[in-house]
Amino acid sequence: MARATTTSDAFNAVAEPRRREILSYLAGAERPVGEIVAALGIEQPSVSKHLRVLKDVGLVRMRCQGRQKLYRTNAEAIRPMHEWAGTFEQFWKRTLVGVKERAEAKVRQKARE
């Protein structure tokens, strides 16, 4: 089965590490392209390309302030990914509780010896 293009699917769009880095940086506040370039050390054309993909799939929003373009995350579009990833949080919690219980049992066993 062919993969969906990154411009039509949010999951494929965030598969690219630089896009995740940009999204994480934008999570703190709305930022202009130049600030993203400076903070992340990514070339401006590359940042613009990644922002275009993120905007096309709805993960970021852009507004103009004079000649400057400001970008921010779109929490509503990110929510489905967060909810999907949350299903794995329960798995890891159960796994870690199991590890903790086994470790505590070994400590108790050694204390009895």
DSSP string, 15-71: TSHHHHHHHHHHTTS-EEHHHHHHHHT--HHHHHHHHHHHHHTTSEEEEEETTEEEE
For residue range 55-78, what is the model confidence (pLDDT) as tens digits? 999 999 999 999 999 999 998 888
Q: Which domain holds residue 5?
A: 1-73
- Say if residue 5's pLDDT is above 60: no
Which tops the pLDDT comparison, 108 or 98? 108
pLDDT band of residue 7 (cuts 50, 70, 90) is: low
If asked whether residues 68 and 88 sit together in one domain, one would say no
If asked whether residues 17 and 51 sit together in one domain, one would say yes
Q: Model's pTM, two decimal places?
A: 0.71
If asked whether residues 19 and 48 sit together in one domain, one would say yes
Which tops the pLDDT comparison, 74 or 85? 74
